[in-house]
Amino acid sequence: MLRLFPILTLVFMVGPVTAGLIGTFLPSFGILPALGGDGASLDPWRALLAQPGLWQSVRLSLFNGLAATAISVAIVMLFCAAWQGTRIFRAVQRLLSPILSVPHATAAFGLAFLIAPSGWMARLVAPFMGWDRPPELAILHDPLGIAMVIGLVTKEIPFLFLMTLAALPQADTERTAQVTASLGYGRITGWFKATLPRIYPQIRLPVLAVLAYSTSVVDVAIILGPTTPAPLAVRILGWLSDPDLAKRFMASSGAVLQLALVLIAMAVWLSAEKIIGVLGRRAMVDGRRLAHDGWLRHVGAGLAIIAVGAVILGLVVLFMWSIAGFWAFPDILPRNFSLRLWGREFGALGDSLLVTLMIGVPSVLIAVALVLGCLENEVRRGLRRHKAVMWLIYLPLLVPQISFMFGLQVFFTLIGLERTLTSVVLVHLVFVLPYVFLSLSDPFRALDPRYGQTALCLGASPTRVFWQVRLPLLTRAVLTAMAVGLAVTVGQYLPTLLIGAGRFATVTTEAVALAAGGDRRMIGIYGLLQMLLPFAGFAFALLIPAVVFAKRRGMGGMGDRGGNNAT
Amino acid sequence: MKDSMTTSQTPEASKSQHAQHAQHAQHGQDGLELCDIAIRLGDRVLVDLDLVIAPGEIVTLMGPSGSGKSSLLGHICGTLPAAFDVQGAVRLNGRVLDGLAPQDRHVGILFQDDLLFPHLSVGGNLAFALPASIKGRAERKARIDNALESAGLAEFADRDPATLSGGQRARVALMRVLLSQPGALLLDEPFSKLDSDLRDQIKSFVFDLARQNHLPTLMVTHDPEDAQAAHGRVISLD
């Protein structure tokens, strides 16, 4: 029975991706009997190539994806190199979970409210510049996509930081830093020469996931990205939503092109890695120490704090708009506050929260059960994790969502599940599973195996050991994984929209839909509403173990990742 | 989540097993028999040993770390990973242990850490070990209170294990093993993490109880003082 869990997990994770890719690939060559596409043809591709500004869209996606990834990785590496093991490092570490739980769309809205010509930052400098109306600058939706890149960077930094933190202990970094320092190396140089080469292999997959995401993102692009033309993924969504069903064929070709684009971006990235590797190996032994790197350390801290601060400040401004009465430019604060809009929207807010939970709760529960089953199976059968498994876990995060969502829609229609709650839960599961697995596997494997052995030797059955020993010891880790999973399902835009065919109005689909309208008060309300569930999830993950194990000191100071050891 | 190995057992099953094991005892030899045990990892022979430990006897196995002492204990209680290649047979009071699940072997083990479950109270830890065949809340509580009293820890049942001293925790860990009614006791460097002033006291506590309960006891250690304190046979692995 337990052996079925890894298979089921794989089916739920890889199955929809495969079915979706096939279901996208065939229509891109004209094959989709349901819409009258009976024979193979290149017409969809001809139509796609005839789209005005196609190459501009392609270029935007490719360059912005690579740029956002490179900048995020650079900032995270610089910050870790400069500040690992210090107080500021631990302070940023503590802010991680709450910031990670902010959905992409919320962060993007917050950033928009900060940097828009009529945004909060312009209001701050307005008195000095003598502005009495918003400057005429195309800051949001700028044709180069700079705002979009910044938006992506602020949200990718926390994710990459978390992944780097998980890799650090394996390289014995604290002592490595002592050794390089005693040899006269500056902090940053020592870290880049002695630590980075050892941890990079472990963060390569997360980096590629960030690259795939940034190259094919839809929601952030709608909120911050260029519009004439938009990046490729946004245009594909437009064609998929077109009332003219014939456009679906061209959209499929676009989706295949998007997949190719992500693969090209990965190839570029991996080649750059190789080149940097060759140059780096030479630099590693050239003896240059850059002992006085104080200024660079401050740059690193500055960039990380700006990125984190932008998300937090963005949330504050979202909140202010949601309760703002009259708020003219260039006032820094609204003239008055009002809860009128919250009151008016109250019913609608409750409905979208309910829909979000209806999708999220089953996805998270199924995901946690499957992942626990996989990990328990691993422990009981003494299996070691194979390297290829990590690629499979990352697969849903490496394939662009837009490239398999349409095909998956077709597939669900074929098996009669189109537009049902089941299909939406299943598609959310595809993305919740990898994150729950990543979040739970480390603490599970770090649990001292002798607890289990002791319990077995005391006569407890393996089933009892799981329910009465391992699971309680991992309470905090399991709850944290649930919170992570919930944050992931709440943030899903494209899958909810396309697989649900608009029938499921979650807080995120509602919020992104408001982007075009530009009603700041409504955006403020829905942006905050998106935050509510992930935040509550993480709060419960902290509170429940604290209350349940209030009288068990050994269950307290187990660190953020929970349950490592109790002695 | 149902267990694939279907190893969970009802109290009845465990009772009948006890009965069987009593029968076997008449035919086979009492105590813990390790018949021509050879443990290999790859091409390396870690342990090669033939040994019988009588009830109440304490045998010490000495050897440097990495010599496979702990692997031998793992093999006896059935938790050794499959990567090891093991030959020979293990019998406890005439019953062959090889092939049995760990929970069906009735072999207790103490590690150098007490490994008290941090989510349970002291009493909860002991109740976890007490077989389900001992029924009735009052009866179970009495057994636990008795055990605590004999360890000099009366009134400790509701305490959080994390609030106990190292010596107290070590005693609770031993009582936990004894309450599970083992047929043999394995000690994996059980004293190495204790403060030196406590060590002698805990040693005699463990050894005395092992003898009183007529448990064949196998201790692995690299500390010659442990071996001396055990007053038993000493076998060197190297």
Distance CA A253, CA A58 (A): 13
**How far off is chain A from B193, nearest CA to CA, in Å?**
11
Q: Which amino acid is at A130?
A: G
A439, A484, A550, A552 from A546: Cα distances, Å: 20, 18, 5, 9
Contact B111 A382 (CB under 8 A): no
- Residue-level pLDDT at B206: 94
Alpha-carbon distances of B25 from B29, B92, B94, rounded to whole Å = 6, 9, 5
Question: What average pLDDT score do residues B178-192 get?
Answer: 93
Q: Could you tell me if residue A485 is inside a domain?
A: yes
CATH number of the domain bearing residue A478: 1.10.3720.10
Nearest residue of B to residue A466, measured between CA atoms = B1
3-state secondary structure of A184: coil
CA A405/CA A19 separation, integer angstroms: 10
**Contacts by A175-182 with C-beta closer than 8 Å and gap 24+?**
A177/A84, A177/A85
- When pLDDT is averaged across residues A108-115 and rounded to a whole number, the result is 93
Higher pLDDT, A218 or A381: A218
On whether residue A109 sits in a domain, the answer given is no
Give yes or no for a contact between A147 and A217, defined as CB atoms under 8 angstroms apart: no
What percent of chain A shows pLDDT beyond 70?
98
Asked whether residue A233 is assigned to any structural domain, the reply reads no
* CB A255 within 8 Å of CB A403: yes
pLDDT tens digits along B128-173: 999 999 999 999 999 999 999 999 999 999 999 999 999 999 999 9
Question: Is the pLDDT reported for residue B231 higher than 80?
Answer: yes
pLDDT at A125 over 80: yes
Nearest by CB to residue A457, choosing from B14, B82, B107, is B107
- pLDDT confidence of residue A294: 82
Three-class SS state of A116: coil
Strand partners, B85: B40
pLDDT confidence of A566, banded at 50, 70, 90? very low
- C-alpha B66/C-alpha B39 separation (Å) is 13
Domain that holds residue A379: 1-40+341-567
| Residues 6+ away with beta carbon under 8 Å from B205 | B151, B171, B174
Distance (Å) from the C-alpha of residue B232 to the closest C-alpha of chain A?
A: 24
Which pLDDT does position A362 carry in this prediction? 98
Instruction: Decide if B211 is inside a domain.
Output: no
Q: Looking at residue B28, what is its pLDDT?
A: 57
Q: How many angstroms away from the CA of A373 is the closest CA of chain B? A: 8
Helical packing angle, A475-491 and A87-100, nearest 10°: 60
Q: Give me the pLDDT at residue B65, please.
A: 73
pLDDT recorded at residue A557 = 47
β-pair partners for B51: B34
Q: In the predicted model, is pLDDT for residue B27 greater than 60?
A: no
Alpha helix segments (H runs only) across A230-293: 232-240, 247-284
Instruction: Say yes or no for a CB contact (<8 Å) between B115 and A475.
Output: no
> How many structural domains does chain B have?
1
Indicate whether B154 belongs to any domain. Answer: yes
In a domain, A394, yes or no: yes
Query: Residue A53: inside a domain, yes or no?
Result: no
Which residues of chain B have a CB within 8 Å of the CB of A450?
Answer: 111, 113, 115
**Exposed/middle/buried for residue A292 (C-beta within 10 Å: 0-12, 13-18, 19+):** exposed
Lowest mean pLDDT among A284-298, A450-464, A473-487: A284-298
Predicted confidence (pLDDT) at residue A72 exceeds the cutoff of 70: yes
**What's the whole-number mean pLDDT along residues A271-277?**
95
In a domain, A131, yes or no: no
How does DSSP classify residue A467?
I
- Decide: A116 and A135 in contact? Cβ < 8 Å: no
pLDDT, tens digit, 9 for 90 and up, residues A147-172 = 999 999 999 999 999 899 888 887 78
Q: Say whether B160 and A552 touch across the interface (CB within 8 A).
A: yes
Give the confidence band of A376 by pLDDT, cuts at 50, 70, 90. Answer: very high
- Structure ipTM: 0.83
Nearest-angstrom CA–CA distance, A489 and A127: 43
For residue A365, the distance in angstroms to the closest alpha carbon of chain B comes to 14
Cβ contacts below 8 Å, chain A against chain B, sum to 117
Residues of A in contact with B108 (CB under 8 A): 457-458
Count: domains in chain A? 1
Tell me the per-residue pLDDT of B32-74, one tens digit each, with 9 for 90 and over.
999 999 998 888 888 888 999 999 999 999 987 777 888 999 9
CB contact under 8 A, A2 and B131: no
DSSP A203: H
Task: Return the minimum-mean-pLDDT range out of A97-106, A115-124, B2-11, B225-234.
Answer: B2-11
- Cβ within 8 Å, pair A458-B177: yes
Residue A422, min C-alpha distance to chain B (Å): 23
Work out the pLDDT band at B6, boundaries 50, 70, 90. Answer: very low
Q: Is the dihedral of CA B154, B155, B160, B163 positive or negative?
A: negative
What's the whole-number mean pLDDT along residues A234-251? Answer: 92
The chain A residue lying nearest B186, using CA atoms, is A457
Burial (CB count within 10 angstroms: exposed 0-12, middle 13-18, buried 19+), residue A408 = buried
Highest-scoring range by mean pLDDT, A53-57, A390-394, B38-42: A53-57
pLDDT digits (tens, 9 = 90+) for A183-238: 888 888 989 998 999 999 989 999 999 999 999 999 999 999 999 899 999 999 99
B123 and B157 Cβ atoms separated by less than 8 Å = yes
Range of the domain at B146: 118-178
Residue B143 counted as domain residue: yes
The answer to whether residue A525 sits within a structural domain is: yes
In a domain, A72, yes or no: no
Q: What is the phi/psi pair of residue B219, to 5°?
A: -115, 135
Over residues A492-519, the pLDDT tens digits come to: 999 999 999 889 999 999 999 998 888 8
Instruction: Answer yes or no: do B78 and A456 touch at CB < 8 A.
Output: yes
Phi, psi of A32 (to 5 degrees): -165, 85
Please answer yes or no on whether B79 and A380 come within 8 Å at the CB atom.
no
pLDDT of residue A561: 35
Q: Which residues of chain A have a CB within 8 Å of the CB of B115? A: 448, 450-451, 454, 567
Question: Are A101 and A534 spatial neighbours (Cβ–Cβ below 8 Å)?
Answer: yes
- Structure confidence by residue, pLDDT tens digits, B71-96: 999 999 998 888 889 999 999 999 99
Q: Is residue A189 within 8 Å of residue A100, measured between CB atoms? A: no
Q: How many residues does chain B have?
A: 238
Distance of CA B105 to the CA centre of its chain: 10
Confidence at residue B24, expressed as pLDDT on a 0 to 100 scale? 43
Res A28 pLDDT > 50: yes
What angle is formed at CA B154 by the lines to CA B149 and CA B160, rounded to 5 degrees? 125
Closest CA to A198 of A282, A82, A277: A277
SS3 B187: strand
Which residues of chain A have a CB within 8 Å of the CB of B103? 456-462
pLDDT mean over A395-419: 93
Q: To the nearest whole number, what is the mean pLDDT of chain A?
A: 90
